[in-house]
Structure formats: C-alpha cells, structure tokens
Amino acid sequence: MTVAPLELARRQFLGRMTTGLTGVALARLLRADLFGAAGGGVLPHFPAKAKRVLQIFCPGGASHVDLWDHKPLLEKFHGTPLPGGDAEVTFQGKNGNLMRSPWDFAPAGRSGKMISTLLPHMARHVDDMAFVHSMTSRTNTHGPGCIAMNTCFTREGFPSAGAWISHGLGTLNENLPTFVALQDIRGEPPNGKANWGNGFLPAQHQAVVLAAHQPLRNLARPGSISEAEEEATRAFLAQANAGHAEAHPGNSELRARIAAYELAARMQLAAPEVSDLSREPAHVHALYGTNDANMLKASYARNCLLTRRLLEKGVRYVSLYCASRASSVDGLLNWDAHKTLKADYERHAPIFDQPTAALLADMKQRGLLADTLVIWCSEFGRMPTHQEGTAGRDHNPDAFTTWLMGAGVKGGVSHGATDDFGRRSVQDVATVYDFYATVLHLLGVDHERLTYYHNGSNRRLTDVHGHVLKGVLS
Amino acid sequence: MGRRCGKSKWALLAAGLLTAARVNAAEAAGVAFFEQKIRPVLVEHCYECHSDQAKKIKGGLRLDSRAGWLTGGDGGTAAIVPGQPEESLLIRAVQHLEDDLAMPPKKPKLPDAVIADLVSWVKMGAPDPRDGALVEAKRADKSWWSLQPLRAADPAVGVGPEAIDHYIEVSLKEKGLALNPPADARALIRRMSYDVTGLPPTPEDVAAFAAAYRSEPQRAVAELADRLLALPAYGERWGRHWLDVVRFGETIGFEVNFPINDLWPFRDYVIRSLNEDKPFNRFIAEQLAGDVFGKDQPETEVGSAFLVAGPYDSVGNRDVVAQKNIRAATLDDLITATSGAFLGMTIHCARCHHHKFDPIPTEDYYRLRAAFEGVTHGRRVIASAEERAAFKAATDPLNDQRAKLVKDRDTLEREVTRRAKEAADKVVATRSKVNPELTEERFEPVAVRAVKLVMTASTTNPKSAGGSRIVEFEAWSAGDGARNVALASNGARAEGAKSAVAEDFPEAYGAHLAIDGLFGEQWFIGTPAVLTVTFAKTETIDRVSFRNAKDLMTEDKAQGATPTDYEIQVSADGETWRTVASSAGREPWSAAHAIERMRREVTTPEEAKQIAALSAEIAKVDRALKAVPPLREVWAGKYAQPEEGTFVHKGGDPMKPGEAVVPASPTMADRVVPSFALPADAPEGERRRALGEWIVRDDHPLTPRVLANRVWQYHFGTGIVDTPSDFGFLGGRPTHPELLDYLARRLVAVGWRLKPLHREILLSRTYRQSGAHRADAARVDQEARLLWRFPPRRLGAEELRDTMLHVAGKLDRKMGGPGFRLYKFTQNNVCTYFPLDRHGPETYRRSVYHQNARASVVDVLNDFDLPDIAFAAPRRANTTTPLQALTLLNHSFTTDMAQALADRLEHGSGASSSEKIDAAYAIAFQRSPTAEERAAGAKLIETHGLTAFCRALLNMNELIYLD
C-alpha cells in the first residue's frame, strides 16, 4: 500500500489540482481495493483473445424459429399436429398445430446462412457470427430464465457473468465502471436487477446502470452547489481525511476511501463525456438510427451508440438490453409473443435490427471487434406450434439460439441443431454453462478455476458443468 | 471477506495436519521449505492430474505423497531423485527439457522462480512429510470438529470476562503477542454504543462516561453495558443482524417481486424477542413452529413467518414438470435457511448427491424437506382466541343478516330470470352473432363529428364489457371511395377508459390503440365501457365496425374477450347523441346473454323497487362488515397435511423419485445428539415442532456453537469461525476453539440468553483494548484475528444512514409497525423498483424499518453493502467504491441532512463559526476540533456557508469509521 492517496489529498487541499492523480500506484490501489480483481496474479489463466464483452440481450424468449433457425418443414407442415406432441402442455397451457413463421427466410452473406427477412440489417453480419442453435434452458419461466442466462442459476442471488468477469479480471480503465448495464427505455428485463447483480460477490462487481435516457445516479453535484463551493468542500474534506488517516496508520481502508472520492471526481468528468452523443457526427447517428421517428427504436439506437463509446473507453463488460419485462399483455414490452406473433415482432424487430447491425458494423470498422467478444442472448426460444386459442407461440426451453461474434470467434459457422421443427435441440446440445465456459475461455479464463467461496461451496459461474464450445472458436 | 480459493485451502489444511506429524528436528527447515514453497505449487499445478482429487491419475504418477513420487508413474522410475535435480524427471518436465513431457501440460511454463524452488528442494534431498500415514483429508466425517460435543470447561479458568481474556491471551502468547492497552474513554463508548445500539452516543453521554471511566473504569464499563443493553435500540440493532441471518426481505423476489406488506410483524417480533432477551432456544423453535408452540398466542405464532421470509417463484406454470421443479426450489429455500441459520451446515449442498465435503447424505436433505413438506407461502390470520371470538361476535349477526337479504333478493331475481328466459326463447334473431374478427353495423348516411361505441356485455361477461378488448375500430365515409375516418392518421381522436395500466409505459393499453390502423396492440376496455371517436371534421358516415383481432394465422380467432352488446351513437356537436345502430336483433352470444338482454324488459316496477331496496340493504350490511376491524393477517405461510410422502430426488430431479424418507433429524451429529424420526404420515405441525426441538437441544454440538460465534462476530467484526453459517469442511476453522466452546457452553448455561453473554464480552479486556495499529504485531497477524487490537470497522449501511439522521437531529425513533420505503415501485404484471431521489421526513426512521425489497437498489443503503436478500447474509461485505462517494456527496439525502445539521447548529449553538464548529464536532465525533481543524472549517464556512461545512462533515472518514 502506498501513500499516494494521501499525497493526492494534500495536493487537492493545496488547490493545485482536483483530478490529477494518474500514477501507476493509484491505479494499482484502485484495482485492488475498489475494483477488486481476484488478485494474486493468477488471471488470466492463459492468453486471452478478448479483452471485453458486449452482451446484447433480447428478453422475453426471442423466437429462434422466426429469427435465426430456419425450419423449412414448418412451412410444409403448417396447420398439422406436431408429431409426437399431441396436446402438449407448456408454460401457458395447451398447444395447437404447427405454425409457419410469418416471415420468409433468405440466404445471407458468403456463408449463405438462412436468416429471417425480418432482420435485413442483421443478415449482413452472418459471416462474422457463430450461431449456437442447440441451446437449452432449465426453466420455462422468464424471470428464472433471464437470470439463468446471466448467472447460470435459475434462482436469485448468484453473480452475473459480468460481475464474475469484473471480479476475475478487474478494470480496464481508471475512471469508468468495469461493468455497465444499459436497460431498455421500456423498463427492466424480467427479474430486473438480479440480471446484472453481484450476487454474493462484493458489491463493486455489480453493473452500474446507465443508458442514454438514464444518467448514472448521483453523478452530478446538486444544482444548489457551485463549482467553487464543491472544490472548497472537497479540499476541506480531503484535508480532514488525510489528517484522520495519518492518525490511524495501518488502516488501508481509510486510504482506499480517500482514493474512492478521487475516482468519483474523475468519473464525474469521464461519464458525462462518454455519454455525450452529440460528439458523434451526423452520419454515425444516421447509421444507428438515433433520430428515427419510432421513439423506441431511436432510444435503443442511442443506447447502441453509447455502448460503442463505453467499450472504446475500456468498460470491460456491457450488457445492452433490447426490450423489457412481461407486461399484462404478452409480447407488448418484450419478445414474449404468446398471442400475436406477427404484430409483436413487427413491433420489436425493427427496433432491434438496424441499430444493432449499425453497432456491429461500427465496431468492426473501428477495429473494436478484434478484441471485443459480442454475445447475443435470450432466455429461451419459442414453440414451433401456436398456442391454443392464439396466433402466438409459447415458451420453449428445449431449443433456442444464441450467437457469438468478434474476438476469437469463427464467423459463419453454426454449432448444434434443433430437430426438423425447432421443438428440441438434438445435435451437440448446449447449455448456458457451455456458453459461458466459452465466453470465459475467450477471455483467457478457465471456467473451472474462477471460484469464490460462498455458503459451503467454492462457487463457479458455470456451477459444476460446462464445456467450451470449440466449434465456435477461430 | 469470505473469499477462499479452493486450492490454497488444501494447502492450509495440509499445513494444519503437519503439526501432528513426527518430524525429525533436523528436517524441520527442509519441511518448512516444502510447506512454504513446494506443497502449494504441487497442489496448484499438479494435483489436478496427479493426486487423489484427479478424475483419472495421469501416467499413473501421484504427487500427493512421498511414496507417490518415489514409486514414479507408469514408466516405473522415481519421478524425483533426492539431491539430483538433473536426474529427476519431474524437474526436467517442468523445465521443458523433455520434448514430449512439458509440464504442466497445455499451460504456460511455470515461473522461473518456482522452478528454482523445486530445484532447490530436490537438491536438499526433497524433504517431504507426506509419509502416507498423513493422507490429506478430503472431506469431513462425523469426527469433524464442529460435530463433537462441546469441550468440558477447564475449572481453573472459571467464567466471566476473565475467562474470555484467558483464552485470547493464551493464543496471543503463543505468537509472542499481547493485548493493546485499554482504549480511551471516547473510543470505547463510541464503539460500545454503535455495537449495542447502532447509534452514536451523545456528547453528554461521552462526557459522563469519561469522568466515570477515569475514576473506576471497570464499574463505568459495566454500568454502560447494562444501560446500553437495556435500551430498545439494542433490539433494533441486534434484530437487524438476525434478519440478515434469516434472509428476511419484504418482497417475494423473482420475476413478479410483489411487495409483502404484512411481513413486518415478524421484524417486530425479532426486535421484541431480542429486547426481552427471550431464550434463543425458544426463539429458534418458535421460528420453525411458532404456530404449534404458541397456538392462539399471536406474539409467538408470528415467529413461524421465518419459514416464508425468503424469495420464491410465484409465476404460475401449466407445465407439470416445471411445477414440481418450482416447488422443489421453494422448499429448498426453507431447507437452506434452516440449516444455515441454526445449524451452520450446508445441507442444501446435498440436494442432488451426498454432500461432497461434509457427512451429510442426500437423504438428510429430504428428511428436512419432509419436515417442511406441508408449508406454502402466503398469509394467514394470526390472532388470539379472544380476538377471534370478538371478531366472530361482531360479524356473525351481520353475516346472518346478509345471508337472509341475499336469499330474498335471489328469490326475486330467480323469478325475473325465469320470465326473462321464457321471453328470450320467443325472440328470433334477425342477424348473426357478433364476430370477434369483424362486427359491422350499417345505417343511413349521417353527417357527424363524433361516434360512440357504448358497450354493455362481452363474450365472457353478459353483464359488462369492462375488461374485453378491441384491436381496431373503424368508421367509414358514405359513398364511393369509402375512407376510414376514425383513423388517427386521418386526424381522429379516441377516448375511453382502460382496464390495465403500465405506469412506466403510459402508451400501453390505451383507447388510441383502437384507431392506430394496426392489428397488434389492443385497447383494454375499462369502465365505463365507452369508446368515443372524434373526427378531424364533420364526416358523412354509414358504417362502423370493430374487431378484437385480424389476420390470424390459426383457426383461433379471439385475443381475449370481445364486446357483444352495444349501441352506436353519433353526434354532430359532441354534446347531443343519438343511437343509429345496436346489437339488438343479433343472435345473443349465449343463453346467459339472451336472458340478460331480456331481464330489464320483464322486470316489473315493483320487482325493480324491491330488488333495489334489498341491494341497498345488503350494501349497508357490507359497510357495517367492513367497519369491523379485520383480524390481522400476516405473511406467515400456510400449512396443510402433505398429500404425498417425501422421496429422495435422484440427482435433484423431482421427476426421478428415489427412496422414501420420513421427517427426521439429519444424521451428521447422531453420535452426539439423539436423533428423531417421525412416521411418514406424521401431522404437519409435529414435523416442524420435532425439528425445532431437536435443533435447540442443550447437548447439540452445532446450534450453541453457531450462535455463540455469531454473537462474537457481531462484536468483533469476524467470528471465531469466519464462515458463520458454514461449520463444515469448506468453512473456516476456529481461531480459538476453546473460547468458542466456552462461549457456547456459557450460552446454554445462562439459559440461551444473549444479554449475559454480551455483557461478559463487553467487559472483557479483549473488547476494551484500543484499536491502535502496531506494525510489529501486524507482521505476525495482519488481520488481527488473534485480537492483539480491537479491529477498527466501517459503519454498516443502516448505521451510516441512522447516524446521518441522528447528527442532523432528524431521526424519528418510532418503533415498529409497517415500514417505510426509499423507493417507489410500479406494478404491471411484475413490480419494478426505483430508488427515490428525495427522501421525505416520513422516511426519517431507523433503517431497520425500511421495507427492503429484493432485487432493488436503494443507493443510500445498498451502496454501503446492505445485501440483496436472495440469500441469507450471515456476514456482510465491506466495500469501498466510488459510487459510495457519489451517493454521499450528491444525493439529496446528504444535502437535506447537511441543511438540517446547519439549522441545528444555527439555532442550538453560539453565534461564531468556531462555536458552531465545536458543536458540530461534538455532535458528530464527540470531541473538540483541533485549532487547525477549526481554522479550516471557519474558512469554509466563511466562503461557502455552514451547509457546505456540514456536507463535508457527513462525508468524513471519521464519521464512518470506528476505532
């Protein structure tokens, strides 16, 4: 432990600088005390392909058979019973006959991957994507499903992948959070904050919530306080704390808290700067669609643009949500199309498609994809049948699609497959454990060795399961 | 912090076992080198493939014993030749000198320093104490320390504070350490006040104590301890600790996360029990079976709310497998909470298989499940026999009266219904039923500004259209080229009540969705069920239509209920309306709809009068019933005799039932404490009672130890065992086993009461020593686990907030009752929680009364490590983050408190800055400022005012750290 923060406090008091400390010593202190990397120099376990992660999450159970997983037989057998699936009872009740996708699929890219025509912009990226078509979930319920897709556990209280990575690898920057969650303007995803929580890890590993429509809480000094008053107050505080710390040698927490105030001051400068989208040229705004007439799309597009800026500035893990929770009307606020698949997805897909595709294109063009891993998730898929009494689909935890892209990922490939109708994953069946074993692997972390003792177990992100999905690695 | 790397744990354990080894003195240095430098490397890098813990031992080589490397692997030669590193295959492998044998495989080469250590060790002759007799324990069995009887007291040691000091000083002496000198009076009273009550002392308290402490320290401390322990704030502080242990939260968690507004009586019960110093054996038993022990005693019965104070998944599910899994997860919470809180055992780890580290077979898990099999989440009436009788006496006559009135009205209505049915049977419909996909009405062209759809019934309710839905309403212009003039895009406006609200998404469900030209989102019709569409200008129309759904891909038509009975009204001026069409003449949706239509026509004026009169009477009785104060309902769970037996779930899968189990005690301690087993069909309450009684047996090796350790932990920051809810193999080992057993025995001896135990601890020299840091001692024991000083600490979340309120003079000391909230929430299918930007005076109560919501973040509390309560939090984290600084600098709570403190200083102290600064330091820190501090403060006040100074004060380290 060094005395750098005390030096800082003194300098601050002398009024020479308010945010000056850039020393390696402080960086180390912050890393250890404020960001809490697992420490001991054990991580990464091996050379990493990816330095940071962008997770895009479409909550509500985005339908694999209507977006990514082309099932020609569904068209052919539309209106006939699912073989072997007579009157199957799933989450909301009985199922009807097979129901074709309301949208055609078309080949895209050099790979010729069949993608729903509902996603024309995303289709341009298929050659960079590695699809996992054989995902399965342990739950058919949104809340547990979403937290499972983020924490690998269906019950609350476990750390999210972003928190684990914050814990394991620490920060990449000195004035912004390590882990940021951008929730949709329509609200929180199912199970809310548990999706980006620290669980039993220390609190500093939880995501900081901010978005284009939602500044970081308590970032700005109160309006009633002038800059001069702020500076004088902080100087007085720093002096008092420096004196107190000197009178209490051997208590490193006191120094850490002084440093935390300094870091807070730096965040107060850095966060508004990174959030200031007006610094982006008009053509970039146009690319993302930030001024789209559809307010929901424009809002999500702004979050996409903010995401790129956060990643550029060294935020380690960004969770970007497109849509929110289950409302009184299924499928209104998220991808949960129980009753009116066509109307629902014609509402959700345009919000998602162009801005996300723009974000990926922008990242690629700037070289960010070289060391950023992009993952796309939903908590489960949907049934190939329609739900009895409706023109929608019920939850399907037995089959869904995720994809990866960017650092260390082989583009244009597909891992695993579902059966002829997309009812079940049947080939190279994958789990969320495998998914995150792969994510950690790309970050240079052995998922079996990143552990934390809690309540009787050395816990892992991947519980006691997980195999790296080798087929998606470049 | 509880972090522990699995592998270093192995090394620790091994080092512990070493003390039992018969080590040749000459070898001691070599063995020390082995323990320090070599064993950790072997454990970290080699054991995965070359020890008992390997799934398959690679190459037949074992490196977890001396014999292992002497024998060598499949090649048959020793892996290490003592004294000759260059001949040792192991060394050559890690040096990557063998082409096909680079170790560790597929991993980076070991650091040069590590390889050098290995070489040195082999040169020394490879001293290795692992002589086979010392096979490393990989798991605990029933001889595990925490499962043994409490050690008998050493009569020479005696009891009381001196006994505590004795055990502490023995350990200190072993390391050449000693207790610090006593703390000064101010530090000590601050420490004790926060520790016992969670609040700071007043300046007057400190002055009085300091004087008494100077003359008679022992007595002054004893009197202070007695005074503090008698304060109601003691229960608020220590009750909060217990609420952490029992994962108490006041929303149900998971996806819907509804608030639970009637669990606070359990919080009050905990606070009350601690303040009464209720024996903890009774307190624990009540939490498992308060309803059995305290039948008709609400104060006792409410304890059983413990069972359902955790989160659970309340989303319904039609899938049978999912239902069973959800039920299993719900009961898992009870099992986890019970075993952790009371037994300090991780029985939940045996849900899918036998416990990997502790002597807990999977059957034990399901024996506990059998005890809880009849418990479900929910609320029930908790009232005394007298309260129930009084309620019955007040309501019975009213209910009788109501029944009679209802009977009379029913008789009349039945007669009306009979005639309505007769009449309905004679009506011949002239038109088809309404069609949810399209219902259309045509009429003579009429020039109007607005049209109304007045609805009186729906497909699911013949008496009202509220709650039914319309996806699109259309009004067509007359003549050629008909246009839908009701479209919003044509300038029309729609008004109508909605039956659902999404507060944070106001666009949802509204009447505007009925004229948006889209066939996805529906208007959810509210009450009154009237849609009014005003056109952009006067239009001549001759046709309107509405529908519930369109273009469906399946044979199913409707998306929820559709209006069936209606009138179409038009208006030229928006004020006078006339009917141009209605559902009259259409085939009724159902027989019930047909009768409902005729009912009005066949009712005689006399009947109508009588029915109205009876209805009025009934309403009057209903009001009287409502005026009777209801019996209190508490979220304390519901109990029912289980319909089925309990089975082991193989692999934790409820679809794979295994062996049947009965409600019984877990077996890990059965050599020490007698077991119980009940018949498979034992009465529900008996199961929980028996379990409770077993847990709190005086001779139980776990319960008293676990409880005594918690008490110690909350006094000193870290327990004698630093994993307070895990006394198993993966948990910590006691730093002072004799002391732990002493405290546990003492606890039982004083009748399981905490206050005598607190008193002994507070009076000990160990507790009263100073927190001063000593570099020499820190080199031996960095974290002061041996207590060579009192460990300084940061205030917890509640203490910090309460202190700010207290310092500002704003703390409202009202105890008990419904909690306050520092968040607002919206409820639309699920609940979403938003932290408040401003905290009103109604929230200025102690933080223990905050209605903590799961998966919500209230910056002022959660930033400071108030845990989310998905699990029990037997030990809180202690973090330092920049978000804390932002919150404490910028949240309006700080500025409000700074302002309040400034007002307090303005009115309650002298006029000069320096007098105000003196008063502020007295209130906040109970000391005088130094001249330098006074000068700096005065300068700040002079330039930026007293509030700026107060804001700084509330952010000072001195406010948040205790010595």
Residues of B in contact with A34 (CB under 8 A): 880-882
Residue of A nearest to B553 (CA): A391
Nearest Cβ partner for B882 among A90, A254, A267: A267
Label residue B550 exposed, middle or buried (CB < 10 Å: 0-12, 13-18, 19+).
middle
Give the 3-state secondary structure percentages of chain A, helix then strand then coil, rounded to 5.
40, 20, 45
Do B470 and B565 reside in the same domain of the chain? yes
H/E stretch holding A74: helix A72-76
In a domain, B593, yes or no: no
Average pLDDT, chain B: 91
- β-bridge mates for residue B128, sequence order: none
**Gap between the Cα atoms of B368 and B666, Å rounded:** 7
In a domain, B191, yes or no: no
Q: Nearest CB to A218: which of B726, B829, B890?
A: B890
Nearest to B130 by CA among B41, B26, B23, B29: B23
Within an 8 Å CB–CB cutoff, is residue B779 touching chain A? no
For B231-283, the pLDDT digits (tens) are 999 999 999 999 999 999 999 998 899 999 999 999 999 999 999 999 999 99
Cβ atoms of B63 and B53 within 8 Å: the answer is no
Assigned domain for B410 exists: yes
Task: Please indicate if any CB of chain A lies within 8 Å of the CB of B958.
Answer: yes
pLDDT of residue A26: 42
How many Å lie between the alpha carbon of A390 and the closest alpha carbon of chain B? Answer: 6
**CB-CB under 8 Å, A102 with B881:** no
pLDDT confidence band for B83 (50 / 70 / 90): confident
Question: Which residues, in sequence order, are CB contacts of B364 under 8 Å at separation 6+?
Answer: B347, B350, B666, B667, B668
- Judge whether B67 lies within some domain: yes
How many Cβ atoms from other residues are within 10 Å of residue B722's Cβ? 21
Please check whether residue A400 is in contact with residue A71, taking contact to mean a CB–CB distance below 8 angstroms. no
Query: Would you say residue B488 lies in a domain?
Result: yes
Q: Which sequence spans correspond to the domains of chain A?
A: 47-217+279-472
Residue that terminates a domain, selected from B123, B152, B178: B123
CA distance A157 to B753: 32
CA atoms in the 13 A half-sphere facing the CB of B306: 32
Task: Give the gap in angstroms from C-alpha B112 to the nearest C-alpha of chain A.
Answer: 15
Specify the range with the lowest mean pLDDT, choosing from B366-380, B759-773, B902-916.
B902-916
CA A354/CA A361 separation, integer angstroms: 10
- B1 pLDDT band, cuts 50/70/90, is very low
Question: Beta strands A113-116 and A105-108: pairing type?
Answer: antiparallel
B554 and A458 within 8 Å at the Cβ level: the answer is: no
What would the pLDDT profile of B448-484 be if each residue is shown by its tens digit? Answer: 999 999 999 999 999 999 999 999 999 999 999 999 9
Coil, strand, or helix at residue B162? helix
Flag whether residue A80 sits within 8 Å of chain B, measured between CB atoms. no
Give pTM, 2 decimals. 0.82
Q: With contact defined as beta carbons under 8 Å apart, do B370 and B691 qualify? A: no
Q: List pLDDT tens digits, range B90-135.
A: 888 888 887 777 888 888 888 888 888 888 888 888 888 776 543 4
Q: How many domains does chain B have?
A: 5
Higher pLDDT, B517 or B646: B646
Report CB contact under 8 Å: B870, A244: no
Are B493 and B577 within one domain? yes
Q: What is the pLDDT of residues A309-328, one digit of tens each?
A: 999 999 999 999 999 988 77
* Residue pair B296/B385 in contact by the 8 Å Cβ criterion: yes
What pLDDT band is residue A340 in, cutting at 50, 70 and 90?
A: confident
Inform me whether the pLDDT recorded for B336 exceeds 60: yes
More confident residue, B630 or B55: B630
Within 10 A of B655 (CB to CB), how many other CB atoms are there?
Answer: 11
Residue A206 structure tokens: 């939880």
Q: What is the pLDDT of residues B358-398, one digit of tens each?
A: 999 999 999 999 999 999 999 999 999 999 999 999 999 99
CA distance linking residue B597 with residue B586, whole number of Å: 11
Mean pLDDT of chain A: 89
Domain match, B541 and B665 both: no
The answer on pLDDT for A94 being more than 60 is yes
Mean pLDDT comparison of A281-290, B36-45, B69-78, highest-scoring range: A281-290
**Single-letter amino acid, residue B215:** S
Tokens matching residue A74: 């569904």
CATH 3.40.720.10 fits A47-217+279-472, yes or no: yes
- Whether residue B578 is found in the same domain as residue B616: no
Task: Return the DSSP state at B585.
Answer: T
Are B311 and B393 contained in the same domain?
no
Spatial distance between the Cα atoms of B384 and B281, rounded to a whole number of angstroms: 23
Q: Are residues B455 and B578 in the same domain?
A: yes
Q: Which of residues 237-256 of A touch B (CB under 8 A)?
A: 237, 239-241, 243-245, 248-251, 253-254, 256
H-run or E-run covering B949: helix B946-955
Give the mean model confidence (pLDDT) for residues B670-686: 96
Are B582 and B448 within one domain?
A: yes
**pLDDT at site B7:** 33
Asked whether residue B945 carries a pLDDT value surpassing 50, the answer given is yes
Looking at the complex, does the CB of residue A447 fall below 8 Å from at least one CB of chain B?
A: no
For A386, which of B554, B859, B872 is closest by C-beta distance?
B554
What is the rounded average pLDDT of the residues B848-855? 95
**CA trace torsion B879, B883, B889, B895 (10° rounding):** -100
**A232 touches B at CB < 8 Å:** yes
Asked if the Cβ–Cβ distance from A222 to B320 is below 8 Å, we say: no
A379 and B CB contact within 8 Å: no
Which value does ipTM take for this structure?
0.84
Which residues 805-864 of B are in CB contact (within 8 Å) with A? 828-830, 832-833, 835, 854-857, 859, 862-863
- Residue/partner pairs of B232-236 with CB below 8 Å, 24 or more apart: B232/B271, B232/B275, B232/B815, B233/B196, B233/B197, B233/B198, B233/B199, B233/B846, B234/B196, B234/B197, B234/B274, B234/B275, B235/B270, B235/B271, B235/B272, B235/B273, B235/B274, B235/B275, B236/B197, B236/B198, B236/B271, B236/B815, B236/B846, B236/B848
Q: Are B374 and B474 contained in the same domain?
A: no
B500: nearest CA partner in chain A: A328
The confidence score (pLDDT) of residue B790 equals 97
Q: Which of A188, A245, A343 sits opposite B521 (nearest CB)?
A: A343
| Enclosing domain of residue B549 | 439-587
Looking at the structure, do residues B490 and B378 belong to the same domain, yes or no?
no
Q: Is A235 exposed, middle or buried (0-12, 13-18, 19+ CB in 10 A)?
A: buried
The residue out of B517, B552, B587 marking a domain boundary is B587
**CB pair distance less than 8 Å for B948 and A233:** yes
Confidence label for B555 from pLDDT (cuts 50, 70 and 90): low
Which of B86, B104, B123 terminates a domain? The answer is B123
Asked if residue B686 has pLDDT above 50, the reply is yes
Q: Which comes out higher in pLDDT, residue A32 or B679?
A: B679
Preferred mutation among A453, A463, A464 to probe B, highest tally of B CBs within 10 A: A453
- Shortest distance between the Cα of A249 and any Cα of chain B, in A, equals 6
Domain assignment present for residue B237? The answer is no
The answer to whether A453 contacts B880, with C-beta atoms less than 8 Å apart, is no
Q: Which of A233, A304, A294 is nearest to A265 (CA)?
A: A233
CB distance B345 to B668 below 8 Å: yes
